[in-house]
Structure 1
Amino acid sequence: MLTGAPAGAKPAPWTAAWGAAPQSPSTGFTANWSQEGFSHQTVRQVVRVTAAGERVRIRISNAYGTSPLRVTGATVARAAGGASVRPGSVRHLTFGGERATEVPARGELRSDPAALGLRRLERVTVTLYLAGTTGPATFHSQAWADTYRAEGDHRADTDGAAFTARTGSWYYLSGVEVSGARPAAGPGTDAGAVVVFGDSITDGFGSTPNADRRYSDALAERTGRPVVNAGIGGNLVLNDSAWYGERSTARFGRDALDQPGVSTVVLLQGLNDIGFSEAARKPGASPTYKPSPQVTSRQLIAAYRELIDAAHARGVRVVGATLLPFKDTTHWGPAAARTSEEVNHWIRTSGAFDAHVDFAEVLADPADPRRLDPAYAYEDGLHPDDAGYRRMAEAVAPLV
């Protein structure tokens, strides 16, 4: 229930409680609906908020749309498993007082606040009804969570029976924000939101689907802080990619610094810039490893400094993370190994970051520190598994 504020009191500030970095429509690694878009369909998405509040609003992105996006209606509700929601919790969202809205091409908008008290780490659903034909959809490719689709208008359904199709991507939804925070136990709960920014390791590749076991999830659980995941699988620091999003130097402001309430960013990125040039030369290499120029440590360091300066100009701290060990993976090769060592040395010793976390050390194989420890490794040896993501959260938690 919405709590009334004393007369003359300032409105409670908003804080980011969940986020997903938008990407342009693409084929992706698994089947998704981004290129076909939607027509007279309802899309229901399940996310877990990392901050409590009495009011909620959503952010819809049409960042890569070439025409306006018409949203006929939207609801938010407490999740009840699969595509079902808890009876009595459905709230119809409005936009400027109206249930229907239009998001400009290349634009985004926020809904009006809705009165729905949410607990920290509670799963909620956001449901969009798209009565028209959208064309290709701005989306986030790898959600590690199921999204559901129904034919027709089912935005207010409490059971999930109509939602017979599903994929592992998010569509149009780029943020959930809360206000009027309830007291929450745990250290750091009043110290601002943390954005974890990077590539597939930040995005959670290799974590258990529908289980919220990315390192951002573990960090929120461990610290009690709001944590927003701004990772994109395959993302590059220095180059745009058709499959893997805009380069980090172009999207950093939108995906990290513009999050309401952000006070700290954890930056872990560069392994794809270093490793794609190696992967692209291997037999049977995927065409997705493009662009793949050989990148120097000097180029990456210059980009890191650009991101640090942008954050500091907004009063935001930056924690730098060393690149994880990756020997014997698709990204491994002599040039990549050398550049990784140079970059990690700079992160540890330059003092350019407000703090640094040495993921390369804490996740290293004791028998060969250039490899990821098998106790923490996903099957590809490049990404951590659930245990590895928990270990990353343990390492960075004291620094945020």
Structure 2
Amino acid sequence: MSTHQTDDDMGWTPTWTQAMTDFRGADDEPPFDDVTVRMTVPASIGGSRVRVELSNLFGDGTVRIARSAVGVCGRFVEVSIDGQSSFEIPVGASRWTDPVDLTVSHGDEIVVDLYLPQCTPYTTANGFTFDRSLPGDFVGSRAFPLERSTPVEADASREFPAPNTGTNTGTAPGSEPDGNGWSLPPGGPFLRTVEVAGAEAKAVVVCLGASSTALGWPQYTAALLPADAGIAVVNRGIAGNRIRLDAPSTAPSWGRAGLSRFDEDVLETHGVTHLVIAYNSNDWSLPGRVTPLDEMPTLAQLIDGYRDLIDRARSAGLTVLLTTVTPLAPDLVGDPCREDFRLAVNEWIRTSGHQFVDFDAAIRSEADPSLLEDTYAAPDHTHPNVNGSKRLAQVMAETLTDGATSSGPTKATSTGPGGRGVRGH
């Protein structure tokens, strides 16, 4: 398998990632000015050294970071770039911090603190939850004074859950108190990747998708895998994302299409060995409702998009897994055009000869397979709730540990809510 590493980065493995997207002009978060941003992310694989990638891909101005640190289990180490503790990230660029000696274990929470001393717009970001301090530099502080704010509430009237207002308590996926509510994974501004060195990874699995992926099943999958499995599972999902078309100008945070960002978010992930293509219905559920109707693809065009992603991944030596498309929103089920489209996409995924994991069977209703099982449905009955994300993680973890991380041909297995096995090809 190709690992896409150079001599300079040999030995580094991503333990957590997110796909960066464009929040310019959005009102999700006010600018940062003399505040510390704290992001607490789960480690999917351990190591003895750490470095982080900071991105200003969509900024209109330079991002200045006056001080920063990485922490694990209460121990913080200040980080630098080129030996400088205060540094800048130019417009359109990403920069790696210098490595620091810090032991990380599978499942640890890694804390990344960034002190932003001057007015810095919330532009290049993703994720749903992070902490914003009261005014001041609190990098590495155990007593982190949170700015007063109101709790995040997902708005079921929106097509996609709102990507964050910076008000979380820093908890990683798996610690949510209510499994029936929204799963809001950690993330935040400017932080694109956390990598570790010092432990050999047997596989690096990149999960490319839209909102259901962004909501966190890849992180839950990583948490379910045994520490000695040596499998890193990282998230490159973006809420609202599509396979074929970039985000409309009215909603740039939905990101560039999977085909557009493939090289950046998949092939540039160090050590990548596997790709999971886990898109939902945005390509055909948005046109005519949120975007122009003429953006509606034919089934052949959408399948060509899948094939393009598969071919590019295989050309790079990657093993590819597809996931079936989970049920649509209840109001769309009554539209036979869109529901028939979903069924046709799933039929192709199940019969095309490609490895797949049957997410649809895992969380659909037994009584009405066109709908999500209530146990697994978020308030909008379109996205998985915490229980649903964990269920998807369960079937994915079973697949990865049953041999899908080998380089040879494998069969992916999923189980529906009633325990019916569904065999992939």
- Mark yes or no: TM-score above 0.5: yes
C-alpha deviations, 1:68-110, integer Å up to 9, x for none?
222222111126xxxxxx2xx1111011111122212111111
TM-score w.r.t. structure 1 length?
0.81
Which residue does 1:344 correspond to in 2? 346
Question: 2:390 matched to 1:396?
Answer: no
Which residue does 2:242 correspond to in 1? 236
Q: Of 158, 169, 176, which residue of structure 1 is paired with 2:194? A: 176
Which residue does 1:120 correspond to in 2? 106
Q: Of 194, 199, 209, which residue of structure 1 is paired with 2:210? A: 199
Partner amino acid, structure 1, of 2:217? Y
Which residue does 2:313 correspond to in 1? 311
Q: 1:126 to 1:331 in 2, by over 3 A?
A: farther
Partner amino acid, structure 2, of 1:301? I
- The whole-number CA distance in structure 2 between the counterparts of 1:167 and 1:16 is 26
Q: Of 68, 84, 90, which residue of structure 1 is paired with 2:76? A: 90
Partner amino acid, structure 2, of 1:18? W
Which residue does 2:328 correspond to in 1? 326
C-alpha deviations, 1:276-324, integer Å up to 9, x for none?
136x1xxxxxxxx235522221111111111112212222111011111
Which residue does 2:42 correspond to in 1? 48
Q: What secondary structure is seen at the aligned counterpart in 2 of 1:196? A: strand
Q: What secondary structure is seen at the aligned counterpart in 1 of 2:49? A: strand
- The whole-number CA distance in structure 2 between the counterparts of 1:272 and 1:247 is 11
Equivalences for 1:142-221 in 2 at 5 Å? 142-143=127-128, 145-161=129-145, 163-164=147-148, 166-167=166-167, 170-181=188-199, 190-204=201-215, 214-221=216-223
Residue 246 of structure 1 and its aligned partner are, at CA, apart by 1.2
- The whole-number CA distance in structure 2 between the counterparts of 1:331 and 1:67 is 44
Q: Of 271, 279, 284, which residue of structure 2 is paired with 1:261? A: 271
Which residue does 1:290 correspond to in 2? 291
Aligned partners of 2:33 and 2:117 also within 8 Å:
yes
- The whole-number CA distance in structure 2 between the counterparts of 1:59 and 1:50 is 16
Residue 387 of structure 1 and its aligned partner are, at CA, apart by 2.2
Partner amino acid, structure 2, of 1:349? T
Partner amino acid, structure 2, of 1:236? R
Residue 270 of structure 1 and its aligned partner are, at CA, apart by 4.2
Aligned partners of 2:333 and 2:370 also within 8 Å:
no
Q: What secondary structure is seen at the aligned counterpart in 1 of 2:240? A: coil
Q: What secondary structure is seen at the aligned counterpart in 2 of 1:17? A: strand
Residue 327 of structure 1 and its aligned partner are, at CA, apart by 5.7
Q: 1:388 to 1:263 in 2, by over 3 A?
A: same
Which residue does 2:118 correspond to in 1? 132
Q: What secondary structure is seen at the aligned counterpart in 2 of 1:44? A: strand
Q: What secondary structure is seen at the aligned counterpart in 1 of 2:370? A: strand
Q: What secondary structure is seen at the aligned counterpart in 2 of 1:218? A: helix
Which residue does 2:386 correspond to in 1? 386
Equivalences for 1:18-29 in 2 at 5 Å? 18-26=16-24
Q: 1:384 to 1:156 in 2, by over 3 A?
A: closer
Which residue does 2:422 correspond to in 1? none
Question: 2:260 matched to 1:250?
Answer: yes
Aligned partners of 2:133 and 2:144 also within 8 Å:
no
Q: 1:200 to 1:329 in 2, by over 3 A?
A: farther
Structure 1: unaligned runs, 5 residues or longer = 1-9, 80-85, 182-188, 205-213, 281-288
Which residue does 2:152 correspond to in 1? none
- The whole-number CA distance in structure 2 between the counterparts of 1:347 and 1:378 is 25
Aligned partners of 1:56 and 1:176 also within 8 Å:
yes
C-alpha deviations, 1:193-221, integer Å up to 9, x for none?
111111111111xxxxxxxxx31122112
C-alpha deviations, 1:10-48, integer Å up to 9, x for none?
9860100011111111566xx632xx4322222111111
Partner amino acid, structure 2, of 1:243? S
Aligned partners of 1:32 and 1:167 also within 8 Å:
no
Does 367-376 or 119-128 show the bigger shift?
A: 367-376
Q: Of 66, 73, 88, which residue of structure 1 is paired with 2:67? A: 73
Q: What secondary structure is seen at the aligned counterpart in 1 of 2:317? A: coil
RMSD: 2.4
Q: 1:41 to 1:11 in 2, by over 3 A?
A: closer
- The whole-number CA distance in structure 2 between the counterparts of 1:56 and 1:299 is 42
Q: 1:134 to 1:148 in 2, by over 3 A?
A: closer
Q: 1:27 to 1:368 in 2, by over 3 A?
A: farther
- The whole-number CA distance in structure 2 between the counterparts of 1:47 and 1:394 is 20
Residue 162 of structure 1 and its aligned partner are, at CA, apart by 5.8
Residue 347 of structure 1 and its aligned partner are, at CA, apart by 1.1
Which residue does 1:186 correspond to in 2? none
Which residue does 2:13 correspond to in 1? 15
- The whole-number CA distance in structure 2 between the counterparts of 1:297 and 1:245 is 22
Aligned partners of 1:196 and 1:229 also within 8 Å:
yes
Q: 1:11 to 1:240 in 2, by over 3 A?
A: closer
- The whole-number CA distance in structure 2 between the counterparts of 1:26 and 1:371 is 35
Which residue does 1:184 correspond to in 2? none
Structure 2: unaligned runs, 5 residues or longer = 1-7, 150-165, 169-186, 406-425
Aligned partners of 1:55 and 1:117 also within 8 Å:
yes
- The whole-number CA distance in structure 1 between the counterparts of 2:292 and 2:72 is 42
Residue 357 of structure 1 and its aligned partner are, at CA, apart by 1.1
- The whole-number CA distance in structure 2 between the counterparts of 1:345 and 1:219 is 25
Q: What secondary structure is seen at the aligned counterpart in 2 of 1:370? A: coil
Q: 1:327 to 1:246 in 2, by over 3 A?
A: closer
Partner amino acid, structure 2, of 1:74? S
C-alpha deviations, 1:369-394, integer Å up to 9, x for none?
22212232222221122222222122
